[in-house]
Structure 1
Amino acid sequence: MKSESQTSGKEAPKASNGNNAASGSDDYDPHLHRNVENPTTTMQTFAHFLKASIGSGVLAMPSAFANAGYITGPVLTLIIGGIAVHCLHILINSMYALCKRKRVPYMTFSEAMTIGLHDGPPIFKFVLPIATPLVDGFLAFYHFGICCVYVVFISESIKQIVDEYLVVLDVRLHMCFILIPLFLLYSIRSLRTLAPFSTTANLMLFVGFGIVLYYIFATLPPISTRKPFQEISRLPIFFGTVLFAIEAVGVILAIEEKMAKPKSYIKPFGVLNVGMAIVLSLYTLLGFFGYWEYGDEALGSVTLNIPQEAVLAQVAKIIFAITTWITYALQGYVTADIIWNKYLSKRVKNKSRHVLYELLIRATIVLLTFCFAVAIPDLSLFLSLVGSFCLSILGLIFPALLQICVQYGGGYGVWKLMLVKNLLLMAFGIFGGVVGSYVSIVQIIDNYNT
């Protein structure tokens, strides 16, 4: 898999006047000119999509529903999911349109934003000088945030097992204990080498989910003991957590790039729509029944709610701790790749030292994720903060802004409905991001002070 920071195997296309497409560009199909090494079939891509979208975020859904209620939760999950899918369609279609206009087979997210802003309305030109580092920066920070969440999740899971069978220790000590294992796996710099680990993690996840669902359905209380609605003040936390769970912009773009038949990705019954329908159904069901079972006691990961003394529950915690440890290296790959390969490696002239310096960068990233996790050990609040801040921008605001820029030369349709729609999406993203981040930060500070 190739991260968003990597180029498409050629020099980034130069920005030109997007209002005057190159002669014959209407006949140019970027999909037919992609030269993909070892392309994936539609079914393989579908499997990758499900794996990328169904991860540890699904385990946070009961906690998210505790901030919304069992009626508000499912409705808003489907609405947020629908908006997220629409924005992904916007992003992929806009990138395709720019590739067609510039007659290149592929361009990355940051390249597309730079060229789109150059060709778009003058009002957005002030962002142009920082467009590429801005997109890359948010992608790198988002995946860094995921890694911080994973440090907390792994430590909490191990703590419950150790507390039960050995000795009770502070969760921060467990974070110290996993530093070396995290760095050892994170020192693997090749996704090809990580592939066997990923495959193993995939198989283990099926077993882990089965155990969790067994405990959820075992002792459901009367639904009347749960709240159908929650206070509006708690919804920003719900928004951030759900957005974190269902959005994976970088991965979704990367697997589309590797397809042998990329047109099947965004068909009405293509990989994106069908895959997201399955993902949203699973997230809604786990959130609903998990909240029904645990109510306001639902923790940042449902694995922290299942019985601590049961051996089967401990097996599930071990499984998810191991799979999350493996996923840490995959998610962190994007951050290291952007920081080192795109920005720092070119500054080191002595190539014999590249491996050493990259390993030092990776070690620094591991230490920083540890520091953030120690400072903010509340998993649910960290999920909400990362989701609200980064994904509101990457998954909602930037795609809408890119489509505004791409359609600038050709117009926005009757009554400029396309422009109005995208401005509303940007407003929704800004509002959700600002409010969600503010509420998350306030609660993090309150928890820290207490």
Structure 2
Amino acid sequence: MTSLPHSSSSQRSIPLNSGRGESSSGSGLLGRSFHSRDYMSTSPAAGEDEREGSGSQLVTPVIDDSEVEGEGGRYLSHTSLESFGKRRARSAASVLQGKDGELEEADDEDWFDLPNPNRRKEHLTSDLQTFIHLLKGNVGTGLLAMPLAVKNAGYILGPIGLLVLGIIATHCMLLLVKCSQRLSRRHNVDSLNYAEVMKFAILERTSHPILGTIGLYGVNIFLTLTQFGFCAIYFVFIGDSLSRVAQGAFDFELSTKAGIAIILPLVIVCCWIRELEGLTMFSLVANICILFSLVVILYEMVYQLSVGEGDEEAAIRRKSLTAFNLKSLPLYFGSAVYAFEGIGMVLPLENKMEKPHHFKKIVVLGMVVIVATYIVFGLLGYLVYGDGICPSITLNLQSPARVAANTIFTIVVLYYAYAIFASYMLQFYVPMDFLEIPFFRLIRAESYIDRLFYSHPRLHTPVKWILRTVFRTVIVSITAGLAVVIPDLDGLITLIGAVASAALAFIFPPLLQLLTFWEAKPPLLHLPHIGISLPWAFTVAKCIAIFTLGVLGSVTGTVFSIISIVQFFEEKPHCPA
């Protein structure tokens, strides 16, 4: 590896491993890879700084050096690293050079196609793996709650609202990726997570670092609330499912809390997996289970619509449905926004892609499938079960007169419980992506832990694994505890959707677009071949409209959700202490 000027500064040095992972030419490369985040990145030196034939690599910190450690390797101070920061920036900027060598501003749509020279090269996922993760991250308990959401809005207003919200959610996902790609190139880093995108976007418009830090922590708080809320909801769903199976198949009384306690150890062990690659098989099997379950549920709903009689007569045939239900519209908003739960996974998935320029097509295709599925199941579920719909439609699957059908329904409940179990691991990956950094920074504040990490290389790996495992175990246990305290599936779904999901899905993305692209001011729509071009003012108006929708829905949805949860406890004779 090309030597860098040594600094005599007293600043703490960053250890870099050398001699591990040598290239074929003999040049040293970084031998250590970081699974949860990339803290160091490498790229060829550019321009006059590149030494031909040396295979030199420049190494620069990306986000934080608190997670970087070495095993007897070389040390570089921050001052040394900063000495070539500008040269590195010129290397990344060369991607956007025009014919005359001048730096050109890429079109708004081009940010999906430009390669990022700093992107990591290890543990990448294929297009199919990414598509599977995207489907699995969105098609979860939210789909099963769609009939209840349609009930809260009406069989006409509900599907229309799902279509509109689905289009907006997809657009906001793509906005988030665009902003991330542009800012990562501008700041010369391999990738950014949601919170880092907010931080750098704010710093584009202000010179006060404290504002960027506030934005970073703000997004992290909402991400943590959302993802951990999802995880708590998954525990409630699995507990309800196990209770339903025990009662229906074995005539055994099993409470939701007992079901949560049974599944907790398995969830803890599986959440020790730290790579998306390790979760692919879980997601693939879960998608197969979901597909089978959805086919059975769809068949049952169509059956009851066509031939159901007596207790199984469809609600639409009893003419007991509502077309427009404005009274509970805030609850509908919370459930619907919760269903589009995948925005927190967008950047982790895109950052792990082998071909990130395909991500836009994958998102659009995946969201078309997801929104269509939501509308079909939400509408049919309400038409069949009417006001008797449960928070999860799987709890409505029972037919005492049909023994074979009841057996299949039990299998469906178990299959979907497994699918939600797999979703837990995928959703759990997102907050761990950024929570482990401050965790290790905190424990290293203790002098003994710091000495253990830096003075005993042989103990470093097992000690770090143990600490990370304990941390993940505690977090999983906290989400299980939340599920035990508030076992109201419907109330939790609407509350999490209104409080946190609305901010991440509808409030933050338009703000990010305005902050990131304010100077470039790209048109909202530019089709020169047919003479259509909507100026930047339309983009501003669109962002304000989406932001307003998110704020109004979040405030009203939160209030109505809290009222719903209070009513749930008032109606339950055995509330948790």
User: Is TM-score (shorter-chain normalized) higher than 0.5?
Assistant: yes
Deviation of the 1:371 alpha carbon: 2.2
Residue equivalent to 1:229: 323
Q: Which moved more, 1:431-440 or 1:254-263?
A: 254-263
CA distance 1:99–1:180, shift in 2 (3 Å): closer
The superposition leaves residues 317-361 of structure 1 with CA deviations (integer Å, 9 ceiling, x where unpaired) of 11111222232222223233432x211113333344333332322
Structure 1 letter corresponding to 2:549 = F
Q: Counterpart of 1:246?
A: 340
Asked which structure has the greater CA Rg, the reply is 2
Q: Which residue number corresponds to residue 386 of structure 2?
A: 295
Relative to total residues, which structure has the larger helix share, 1 or 2?
1
Hey, what's the Cα distance between the residues in 2 that align with 1:379 and 1:4? Answer: 33
1-side partners of 2:237 and 2:536: how far apart? 49
CA contact (8 A) 2:147 2:393 kept: yes
Report what 2:106 is aligned to: none
What letter corresponds to residue 144 of structure 1 in structure 2?
A: F
Match of 1:31 in 2: 115
- Counterpart amino acid of 1:428? L
Farther off after superposition, 126-135 or 4-13: 4-13
How big is each residue's C-alpha offset from its partner over 1:205-261, in whole Å with a ceiling of 9 and x where there is no partner? 222222222221111126362434343231111111111112311322222223343
Counterpart of 2:553 in structure 1 is 432
Partner amino acid, structure 1, of 2:156: I
Q: Which consecutive residues of structure 1, in runs of 5 or more, have no partner in the other structure?
A: none
Q: CA deviation at 1:312?
A: 0.8
d(CA) in 1 for partners of 2:468, 2:536: 52
Higher mean alpha-carbon deviation, 426-435 vs 406-415, is at 406-415
Distance 1:277 1:9 in 2: 36
Please name the residue that 2:489 is paired with: 379
Distance 1:368 1:35, change over 3 A: closer
Residue 283 (structure 2) pairs with residue 198 (structure 1): yes
What is the rounded CA distance, in whole Å, between the counterparts of 1:288 and 1:174 in structure 2?
30
C-alpha contact (below 8 Å) 1:8/1:107 kept by paired residues: no
Structure 1 pair 198–411 and aligned structure 2 pair: CA distance change class (3 A) = closer
1:164-183 aligned at under 5 Å gives the runs: 164=248, 165-183=250-268
Instruction: Indicate which of 218, 227, 241 corresponds to 2:303.
Output: 218
Deviations 1:262-287 (A, max 9, x none): 33332xxx222222111111110011
Cα distance in 2, alignment partners of residues 226 and 92 from structure 1: 44
Greater shift, 214-223 or 146-155, is seen at 214-223
Q: Does the 8 Å contact 1:84/1:247 carry over to 2?
A: no
Deviation at 1:433, TM superposition (A): 1.1
**Cα distance in structure 2, aligned partners of 1:45 and 1:235:** 34
Stretches of structure 2 that go unaligned for 5 or more consecutive residues are: 1-33, 42-60, 65-84, 98-102, 104-110, 306-313, 401-405, 445-449, 453-459, 524-534, 572-577
The 2-side partners of 1:355 and 1:23 are apart by 38
**Alignment-derived partner of residue 158 in structure 1:** 242
* Equivalent residue in structure 1 for 2:434, among 330, 338, 359: 338
Report percent identity of matched pairs: 29
294 and 102 in structure 1: CA distance in 2 versus 1, 3 angstrom threshold: same
The 8 Å contact of residues 6 and 108 in structure 1, kept in 2 or not, is answered as no
SS at match of 1:178: helix
Aligned pair partner of 2:353 in 252, 259, 263: 259
Aligned to 2:157: 72
Contact 2:129 2:280 in 1 (8 A): no
Return closer, same or farther for 1:12/1:437 CA change in 2, 3 Å cut-off: farther
Structure 1 residues 12 and 133: CA distance shift in structure 2, 3 A: farther
Q: Is the 8 A contact 1:393 1:429 kept in 2?
A: yes
Match of 1:12 among 62, 80, 86: 62
C-alpha separation in 2, matches of 1:170 and 1:313: 19
Query: Counterpart in 2 of 1:141?
Result: 225
- Does the Cα contact within 8 Å between 2:136 and 2:283 map onto a contact in 1? no
Question: What's the counterpart of residue 401 of structure 1?
Answer: 511
In structure 2, relative to structure 1, the CA distance for the partners of 1:142 and 1:308 (3 Å cut) is farther
Shift of 1:32: 4.5
TM-score, structure 1 length as denominator? Answer: 0.88
Residue 308 of structure 1, CA deviation: 6.2
- Over 3 Å counting, the alpha-carbon distance change for 1:384 and 1:197 in structure 2 is same
Deviations 1:292-335 (A, max 9, x none): 11112111111111006511111111111122223222222323
State the one-letter code of the partner of 1:305: N
Q: Is the 8 A contact 1:65 1:238 kept in 2?
A: yes
- Aligned partner letter, 1:379: L
Deviations 1:161-220 (A, max 9, x none): 112323224322332333323323334444444433333222222222222222211111
Give yes or no for contact 2:304–2:384 (8 Å, CA) kept in 1.
Answer: yes
TM-score (norm: length of structure 2): 0.70
Backbone CA RMSD of aligned residues: 3.0
Aligned partners of 2:179 and 2:296: how far apart in 1?
42
Moved more, 63-72 or 163-172: 163-172
Q: Which residue of 2 aligns with 1:314?
A: 410
1:356 and 2:466 aligned: yes
> Alpha-carbon deviation of 1:105?
4.2
Q: Specify which structure has the bigger relative contact order, considering alpha-carbon pairs within 8 angstroms and separated by 6 or more residues.
A: 1
Counterpart contact for 2:35–2:275, Cα < 8 Å: no
Is this contact kept in 2: 1:336–1:361, CA < 8 A? no
CA apart distance, 1:139 = 1.8
Structure 2 contact 293–416 (Cα < 8 Å) conserved: yes
**Residues 432 and 12 of structure 1, relative CA distance in 2, 3 Å threshold:** farther
Instruction: Give the drift of 1:400.
Output: 1.0
